C-alpha cells in the first residue's frame, strides 16, 4: 500500500482527462498501471478508463497530440509519490512552488513515455 493518495485528476489547458491521447492503448495502459498504480476499469480497442483512489482518467487513440496534453494530479504526499516514480525508473523534476487561483501549490512534473505531461501537486496550507 502506498503512503499517498491521488485526490483527483484535472485538465491543464484544453486537455480532456477522460480521453488523454495515446498512440496505442496496450502500452499506455501498462505504463499507467505499472508506474502510476492505476487500476484498469474498462478497456476497448481504442479507449480505456483507469482509476486510482479518487482520480479517474481515460486514454484514447484519437487525433490529439500526446505531446500537447497535460494533466494535474492532486496528491496528498508528494515526497512519497516522487520517490515511488524514481524507483519505477521515471525521472521527475525537482519540486517547485506554483501559484494558481490565489493559492500556492507544491508541485513537480513528469512525463509518460508516450508524451502526456503530468503535474503532481498539493495545495500548501
For residue 3, pLDDT beyond 90: no
Q: Which residues contact 79 (CB under 8 A, 6 or more apart)?
A: none
Cell output for 22: 495515446
* The pLDDT value given to residue 2: 72
pLDDT at 45 over 90: yes
Domains in the chain and their CATH numbers? Answer: 6-123 (3.10.180.10)
pLDDT, tens digit, for every residue of 82-98? 999 999 889 999 999 99
Is the pLDDT confidence value at 1 over 70? no
Amino acid at each position: 500500500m502506498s503512503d499517498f493518495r491521488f485526490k483527483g485528476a484535472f485538465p491543464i489547458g484544453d486537455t480532456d482527462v477522460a480521453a488523454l491521447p495515446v498512440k496505442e492503448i496496450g502500452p499506455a495502459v501498462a505504463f499507467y498501471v505499472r508506474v502510476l498504480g492505476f487500476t484498469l476499469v474498462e478497456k476497448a480497442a481504442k479507449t480505456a478508463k483507469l482509476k486510482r483512489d479518487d482520480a479517474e482518467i481515460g486514454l484514447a487513440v484519437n487525433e490529439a497530440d500526446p505531446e500537447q496534453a497535460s494533466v494535474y494530479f492532486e496528491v496528498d504526499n508528494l515526497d512519497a509519490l516522487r520517490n515511488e516514480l524514481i524507483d519505477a525508473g521515471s525521472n521527475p523534476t525537482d519540486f517547485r512552488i506554483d501559484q494558481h487561483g490565489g493559492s500556492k501549490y507544491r508541485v513537480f512534473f513528469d512525463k509518460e513515455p508516450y508524451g502526456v505531461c503530468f503535474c503532481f501537486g498539493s495545495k500548501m496550507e
